[in-house]
Structure 1
Amino acid sequence: MKLAPALHRIGNDIVAVYLIDTPEGVTIIDAGLAGHWSELLAELTTMGRTLSDVKGLILTHGDSDHLGFAERLRRDHGVPVYIHPGDADRAKGGAKPATSKQTMRPAAVLTFAAYTLRKGGLRTTHLTEVLEARDGETLDLPGDPQIIGLPGHSEGSIAIYVPVVDAVFVGDGLTTRHVLTGQDGPQPAPFTDEPDRAIASLRALVATGATWVLPGHGAPWNGGVEAAVVAVETAARNAR
Structure 2
Amino acid sequence: MDVIRVHPALFPELYLLRFPVGQAYLWRDGDALTLVDAGPPGAGLRIADAVTALGLRPEDVRRIVLTHFHEDHVGGAGEFARLSGAAVYAHRLEAPIVRGEVMGPPPVFEDWEVPLHEDAMRRLGPPPSNPVLPEEVRELSEGDMLDFGGGAHVVGAPGHTDGSIGIHLPERGVLFTGDAVAVSPLDGQVMLGVFNLDRARALASFQKLAALDAEVACFGHGDPVTEKASSVLRAAVDGYAEG
How far does residue 161 in structure 1 lie from its aligned partner after superposition?
Answer: 1.0
Q: Which residue of structure 2 aligns with residue 186 of structure 1?
A: 190
Deviation sequence 1:157-197 (CA, Å, 0-9, x none): 1100124542100111111136xxx5642112222111111
Q: Which residue of structure 2 aligns with residue 95 of structure 1?
A: 103
Counterparts of residues 88-237 of structure 1 (less than 5 Å) = 88-93=95-100, 94-102=102-110, 103-104=112-113, 106=115, 111-117=119-125, 122-123=127-128, 124-141=131-148, 143-163=150-170, 165-177=172-184, 184-222=188-226, 223-235=228-240
What is the CA–CA distance in structure 2 between the aligned matches of 1:228 and 1:206, rounded to whole Å?
Answer: 5
Superposition CA RMSD, Å = 2.5
How far does residue 77 in structure 1 lie from its aligned partner after superposition?
Answer: 3.0
| Counterpart code for 1:202 | F
2:146 partner SS: coil
Q: 8 Å contact 1:7–1:165 — kept in the other structure?
A: no
1:208 partner SS: coil
How far does residue 2 in structure 1 lie from its aligned partner after superposition?
Answer: 1.1
1:90 partner SS: helix
TM-score (norm 2): 0.83
How far does residue 149 in structure 1 lie from its aligned partner after superposition?
Answer: 0.9
1:205 partner SS: helix
- Higher helix content, 1 or 2: 1
Q: 8 Å contact 1:168–1:213 — kept in the other structure?
A: yes
Check 1:183–1:113 CA distance in 2 against 1; reply closer, same or farther (3 A cut). Answer: farther
* Percentage of pairs with the same residue: 27
- Equivalent pairs, count: 231
Higher relative contact order (CA 8 A, sep 6+): 1
Q: 8 Å contact 2:21–2:120 — kept in the other structure?
A: yes
Q: 8 Å contact 2:35–2:63 — kept in the other structure?
A: yes
Check 1:125–1:237 CA distance in 2 against 1; reply closer, same or farther (3 A cut). Answer: farther
Q: Which residue of structure 2 aligns with residue 72 of structure 1?
A: 79
> In the alignment, is residue 3 of structure 1 matched against residue 6 of structure 2?
yes
| Counterpart code for 2:6 | L
- Higher strand content, 1 or 2: 2
Q: Which runs of 5+ in 2 are unaligned?
A: none
How far does residue 130 in structure 1 lie from its aligned partner after superposition?
Answer: 0.5
How far does residue 132 in structure 1 lie from its aligned partner after superposition?
Answer: 1.5
